[in-house]
Structure 1
Amino acid sequence: MKQKLFYTATAIFFILSAILHYSGASATVQITICSAAVILLAAFLGRATENVAHYAGERMGGFLNATFGNAAELIIAIFLVKEGLFDMVKASITGSIIGNMLFVLGLSVFMGGLKFKIQKFNELLAGHNASLMLLAVIVLFIPAVFARDFEPRQVDALSLIVAGILIIAYILWLVFSMITHKNELSEIVPTNTVESHEQAHWSKGFSIVMLVVATVMVAFISEWLVGNLEEFTHRFGLSELFVGAFLIAIIGNAAEHSAAVFLAMKNKIGAAVEIAVGSSLQIALFVSPVLVFISFFFGDIMDIVFTTYELVAIGVAAFIAISISRDGKTNWYEGLLLIFVYIILGVAFFMA
């Protein structure tokens, strides 16, 4: 019954978003309804991904959940790039990275820790994730420092080169973690895992079809949402930095929020970390460089030079996330610390 209500609500909000878009309703009303539709569709996308993951295995499931969980945000970002709103795109990238590392991971660790005193996951995987986080921070800092003395053409060239290297690094990480060192990085299975033998709600074929359908629906909603963002931002006096880093990031990451938290509460903290941290790494090492190349094909290159505020936020998020997760153990208080840092950054971004 609950599932039918959820599917009905998702369809209603999608249809309502389309009606408001084509009838020319106010930007505020459209953004409100479209945001609700994106959140519902992200949850629907997450459910479809979880069903596919049931047939693909837990580590692959975490990767798929992170990938399709980022689909909404990637599609939104592509439309922002098309509109030339590069500052908002980079802010949304920042928001997604810190949102996953601080809010999603923090909430997962906190909720899981309330139910299980200590939760453990693969320490070797945590160490590799920490190294990749540091790589992301370093790579984002380098263009920001050197770009000050570069001409615009040099900045564009540097951005394309860095983007290409990041994509190669991410693809090789997938080869390393999913193929050559798959067994070493496999999940630690807790003895007290809740509902460890859950059945998939959908068949394999139907799950894949629903995954495609949800992604297409998100693409339409994203275009309608982006078309009203500029007017909405000016009307309420919000900065592009805050809108991109927090509003878009929270809406786009809805799938990861729900999936990671539910997994942590079932004592599958490894899969929750794979979603939260893996999603941040995917945004930093794959999505952001892909957007640089997409902007190139649109005819106006989006450089990979981030503002000082954005770099500080990413650096702080990576530092505390590494400190908390590197030992392969978590508890509820560590999750609370991550959430506190996220709230502080949110207030700072709002006031900036």
Structure 2
Amino acid sequence: MKKYISPGLLAFFFLLSAIGHYARFPATLEFIVSAVAVIFVAGFLGKATESVAHYAGQRLGGFLNATFGNAAELIIGVLLIREGLFDMVKASITGSIIGNLLLVLGLSLFAGGLKHKVQRYNVTLAGMNGSLMIVAIIALFVPAIFLNTHVLHEEDRNSVSLVVAGILIAAYLLWLVFSMITHKKILADVADNAQEELPHEHPPAWSKQRSILYLVLATVMVAFVSEWLVHTLDTFTARFGLSEIFVGAFVVAIVGNAAEHSAAIMLAIKNKIGAAVEIAVGSSLQIALFVAPVMIFISHLIGRPMDIVFTVVELAAIGVSVFIAKSITQDGQTNWYEGLLLIAVYCILGYSFYLV
């Protein structure tokens, strides 16, 4: 683990972030401390993910990282729902989707492409991911269009949200069955099919059991630090004059996905592009098809019903992100310039959101 991060610094910044939260440090100082703690904890999660991926294969390892990383996103979303901040929740969902498809995937392709001229992964999986992203777009567009054009009545808002959310959850669970069980070999990563270790690759630092334990521990730490950071956002937003939609779509989303950022980039540099793509694209799909719909059901259970109707700006951002990500990843091979294109689109959206 020394190659990635010092355990002493990890523990120090995690404890300092906890002290800052409970001892009520000044909001700006608490924000900085928590942000640094997130970086260190994300590095720990990336190391644990890489170790798990060695035993489970790149696809399953990437799926586990996306799932554990999105646990923090779900926790943050539920906390915001309890406060009635639905606009920020939807903005954070939007930010998570476009952040993973553009920033995480873009940085991964760029960093991996600088070291490896061309990186390849399963082209069949790339096509399936593209189709699923389009389904997610349709599921978000249809309720918004039908309600905003008054084809549906306002009293149908909650019912259509629950039905669409239920369908998306069922589709995602069946996708897991399809990709992990019935068609596992067809969708296996190129490196997994080769079944040979690269000459420069080192054995994992931890045993299988310890890797899983550390993965769970790192996820819990990410969830805590992310929650502490969220509590500083109101003051941070007011001090720097940022809009709620920008904070939700970019600040909260980047913090909530910090784990995926570091893990995907490290794996891409090691030429494990299959796992990096699974983390970035798989995380976006999981947010759109599972986490967001689950938030809809949770909001009704806790008596704070939230609908699945997004604004035109949010839908446009998601649509643009899906279009460029699908265009770049559909051929099953990547290079650094394609990563740069994704980052460019992210910067365009980021500045546009900043001006809102």
Per the normalisation by structure 2, the TM-score is 0.92
Q: What is the aligned counterpart of 2:288 among 284, 288, 297?
A: 284
1:293 is matched with 297
Shift in Å, 1:240: 1.2
1:138 is matched with 138
1:255 is matched with 259
1:66 is matched with 66
Shift in Å, 1:213: 2.3
8 Å CA contact retained: 2:230, 2:252: no
Give SS of 2:305's match: coil
2:21 is matched with 21
Distance in 2 (CA, whole Å) between partners of 1:62 and 1:107 is 16
AA aligned opposite 1:40 = F
Give SS of 1:70's match: helix
Give SS of 1:302's match: coil
Instruction: Kindly indicate whether residue 122 of structure 2 is the aligned counterpart of residue 118 of structure 1.
Output: no
Shift in Å, 1:193: 7.8
Distance in 2 (CA, whole Å) between partners of 1:82 and 1:41 is 26
Distance in 2 (CA, whole Å) between partners of 1:219 and 1:272 is 21
AA aligned opposite 2:170 = I
8 Å CA contact retained: 2:46, 2:266: no
1:326 is matched with 330
AA aligned opposite 2:175 = W
8 Å CA contact retained: 1:109, 1:331: yes
Distance in 1 (CA, whole Å) between partners of 2:177 and 2:91 is 29
8 Å CA contact retained: 1:42, 1:69: no
AA aligned opposite 1:72 = A
Shift in Å, 1:194: 5.0
8 Å CA contact retained: 2:162, 2:297: yes
Distance in 1 (CA, whole Å) between partners of 2:18 and 2:113 is 41
Shift in Å, 1:4: 8.8
Higher mean C-alpha displacement, 68-77 vs 170-179: 68-77
8 Å CA contact retained: 2:113, 2:119: yes
Higher mean C-alpha displacement, 259-268 vs 214-223: 214-223
2:178 is matched with 176
8 Å CA contact retained: 1:42, 1:72: no
Per the normalisation by structure 1, the TM-score is 0.93
Shift in Å, 1:197: 4.7
Distance in 1 (CA, whole Å) between partners of 2:180 and 2:300 is 31
Shift in Å, 1:183: 0.8
Give SS of 2:344's match: helix
Shift in Å, 1:93: 0.9
Shift in Å, 1:30: 1.7
Shift in Å, 1:71: 2.4
Distance in 2 (CA, whole Å) between partners of 1:277 and 1:89 is 20
After superposition, residues 123-272 of structure 1 pair within 5 angstroms as 123-148=123-148, 149=150, 150-189=152-191, 194=198, 197-272=201-276
Distance in 2 (CA, whole Å) between partners of 1:4 and 1:141 is 42
Higher mean C-alpha displacement, 26-35 vs 301-310: 26-35
Detail structure 1 runs of 4+ shifted over 3 Å in the superposition.
Answer: 1-5, 150-153, 190-198
Distance in 2 (CA, whole Å) between partners of 1:104 and 1:122 is 19
Distance in 2 (CA, whole Å) between partners of 1:165 and 1:66 is 21
Shift in Å, 1:261: 1.7
1:36 is matched with 36
Shift in Å, 1:95: 0.9
The Cα offsets for residues 261-297 of structure 1, whole Å up to 9 and x where unpaired, read as 2222222222211111111111111111111111112
AA aligned opposite 1:28 = T
Distance in 1 (CA, whole Å) between partners of 2:143 and 2:314 is 13
8 Å CA contact retained: 2:50, 2:267: no
AA aligned opposite 1:237 = G
Give SS of 1:170's match: helix
2:107 is matched with 107
Distance in 1 (CA, whole Å) between partners of 2:28 and 2:143 is 36
Distance in 1 (CA, whole Å) between partners of 2:112 and 2:197 is 11
Extract unaligned runs of 5+ from structure 2.
Answer: none
Percent identity over the alignment is 64
1:84 is matched with 84
The Cα offsets for residues 65-108 of structure 1, whole Å up to 9 and x where unpaired, read as 11112222222222112222111111111111111111111111
Distance in 1 (CA, whole Å) between partners of 2:330 and 2:251 is 29
2:311 is matched with 307
2:55 is matched with 55
1:347 is matched with 351
Give SS of 1:2's match: coil
2:339 is matched with 335
Distance in 1 (CA, whole Å) between partners of 2:298 and 2:308 is 13
Distance in 1 (CA, whole Å) between partners of 2:200 and 2:184 is 21
8 Å CA contact retained: 2:76, 2:230: yes
Extract unaligned runs of 5+ from structure 1.
Answer: none
Distance in 1 (CA, whole Å) between partners of 2:168 and 2:84 is 23
Distance in 2 (CA, whole Å) between partners of 1:31 and 1:174 is 37
